Structure 1
């Protein structure tokens, strides 16, 4: 009997010990990545990357991947990020957001809690970025996106989210401002937008810019993703606007050009902001993509340089050698995200793996950096409507020709005069 009671007592003690350990484990998980990171030992930075490797925005997702990969390659070839007297290599851990905000939020949680990443390089789309940002605030893990441009990201003032590309409401007005200064400027415009965070913001900016410059808006429509543009273009053709401006991504832009050509509609200019510089737009449309206007903050012919990539020409060469593509401003912006992290990590002497306290210091260091890169200046706003967005870059008006991004405005920065009206599809 005594032996049986002793056995029962031992079992009870084991059960209680297990319960205590279980409760202790539950308590430690609330600190997110901090406790697990502090108990880990490694001599490299583990960098999470969230982007669209599948789904509707895979084209743009690949652009971000090229940019992030080039940064990691360049750093690792130079020995790593130098902190004090030691260099630390980079390891990128990719997670596919499937072009979907919910999948993006899940990817962020997985990278933080399972992979124990030190920091994150952010998504291609603004919609996914907005879904990921609250997760980062919850676990106190900093992220810089090299792509997202919706103004609604920055007005929400997420503490741990930064961006290297100025918001669309700071750049999208550039093409119409350039056209408005011509001797014979456009008088009428139709504006289409896709109902996602970035595309809608671009369409709104186009409309506001057109009205500011005295153009009559004969059509303004924001449509769901996946909409067939053919009937919309057919209706716009009847209105005969001088300009058709489209807020979308490269897939929608290609669809609009193809639908316009099939219907025999050729306005005096297409204006499309981002997407027209991507390899897929150039490859799939060929001559039909020529003369389209867009907005940019960087082009491959700028005379900029830094210690990591060298000149812009060197960066373009590296991109061609590794991916066989001429980089656009999103790819360059993604590479520059890493340069911002490198500068901030060196400033606070943060060695991997990062603790919660170090990640907090990293956020403060990012708020204070003011660096010149091959991409241009990086300085994040710390207040106002563009909180944590890079407000150091100026908008350029570009016009595509033979796959090249030609700067045609503003006047003090242009490489050539804008072509307006543009040639018909069958006259190129």
Structure 2
């Protein structure tokens, strides 16, 4: 009797274990590590986390992803990397080895994507970087064949603003004197390195140049010194906190320039909310073609589901990267990471930013410069994509 009971209990346990395993297979575990604190938390809160929520809700509301003959819903495991590379690497290792997630969403920002790329590659996850702009993309794609880079290179983005300045100089809207500022991290250093030779080749004179550490609070001296140099254009490769601070000081000190350009954060809706009518004419990195019907539909969906506008640059690209991941899983027909990586390499994907193909692991088609116009940040320069409007000289700060 005891033996029969033991066998029955063992069989029941095995049945429960199999049932548990079968249940677990109905869910795709998605891991995410990005700032929720530290200097880049505001940017991640605007661009990164909302689009993960939006994509997962859309997929799950539709019944999940079709993986072979199964319809599998998504489950999120998320961590705060505290805007710290070491913390981000630890989070990736934990997601891979403790949480055993099926796939990982790329981190937020250039620096954190580069810091975590070796760990993501070591565990074989597809790495679709949607908020990293670097000239190292071809090298990185070769070093980490699982990585894909969607936001453009530093040279593309830097040359975008330089070509815009040159167009305006040729029209007589501005002169040739430029104040050039950058945040001293991977993002800012690469962009300023690409911009300087491009400015020189286009006949511009850099009358003021400086850099500042990430997280700098007081940027009034930067604006006062730039103003003293009497530039025709002010260009700052900045992150969100400093983008707002630089613009505030330019308004307070009435920096009189025909072009005022700042970096990440310029495209955020709160930027226009903070500066109101004074935001009109301000240029910044990125942008989107806000006149495109697919982009409009994405913006409307973001507003409807999240009750907030997306940022008018990397939000759409972040969402597109998640769409690519989902479509690649379905094309691969399995959760095998190598098969999904191969699917990303060899297919064209329908996304909110249009068709995307990355046969060499790099998306070549990007918006490079946007400008606030009537409450919308509209693309004025791009490579391989349509723009929304032509660039215009900025008016006053009132």
* TM-score category of the 2 structures, normalised to the smaller one: 0.7 to 0.9
* Cα-to-partner distance string for 1:381-401 (whole Å, 9 max, x where unaligned): 52xxxxx2322x243532113
Query: What is the match of residue 230 of structure 1?
Result: 220
Structure 2 residue 352 is the aligned partner of structure 1 residue 371: no
Q: TM-score, normalised by structure 1?
A: 0.80
CA contact (8 A) 1:164 1:336 kept: no
* Cα-to-partner distance string for 1:210-255 (whole Å, 9 max, x where unaligned): 2222111112322212333211221211110101100111211111
CA contact (8 A) 1:133 1:160 kept: no
Structure 2 residue 35 is the aligned partner of structure 1 residue 57: no
Query: What is the match of residue 161 of structure 1?
Result: 147
Picking from 313, 326, 341, the partner of 2:309 is 326
CA contact (8 A) 1:126 1:153 kept: no
Query: What is the match of residue 27 of structure 2?
Result: 44
Query: What is the match of residue 29 of structure 1?
Result: none
Q: 1:409 to 1:147 in 2, by over 3 A?
A: closer
Shift of 1:256: 0.7
Summarize the alignment of residues 391-402 of structure 1 with structure 2, pairs less than 5 Å apart: 391=364, 393-402=365-374
**Match of 2:161, SS?**
helix
How many Å separate the matches in 2 of 1:270 and 1:223?
18
Picking from 185, 195, 211, the partner of 1:196 is 185
Q: 1:408 to 1:300 in 2, by over 3 A?
A: closer
Picking from 95, 118, 122, the partner of 2:102 is 118
Shift of 1:112: 0.8
* Cα-to-partner distance string for 1:277-318 (whole Å, 9 max, x where unaligned): 1133222232333211124263333233xxxxxxx3332122
Summarize the alignment of residues 161-310 of structure 1 with structure 2, pairs less than 5 Å apart: 161-182=147-168, 183-184=171-172, 185-227=174-216, 228-296=218-286, 298-304=288-294
Q: TM-score, normalised by structure 2?
A: 0.86
Query: What is the match of residue 17 of structure 1?
Result: none
How many Å separate the matches in 1 of 2:123 and 2:68?
27
**Match of 1:226, SS?**
coil
* Cα-to-partner distance string for 1:339-372 (whole Å, 9 max, x where unaligned): 211222122210xxx4xxx212222222112223
* RMSD over aligned Cα atoms: 2.3
**Match of 2:48, SS?**
helix
**Match of 2:227, SS?**
helix
Query: What is the match of residue 300 of structure 2?
Result: 317
How many Å separate the matches in 2 of 1:187 and 1:249?
25
How many Å separate the matches in 2 of 1:278 and 1:321?
17
5+ long unaligned stretches in structure 1: 1-37, 305-311, 383-387
Picking from 386, 392, 397, the partner of 1:419 is 392
5+ long unaligned stretches in structure 2: 1-20
Name the larger-Rg structure: 1
**Match of 2:293, SS?**
coil
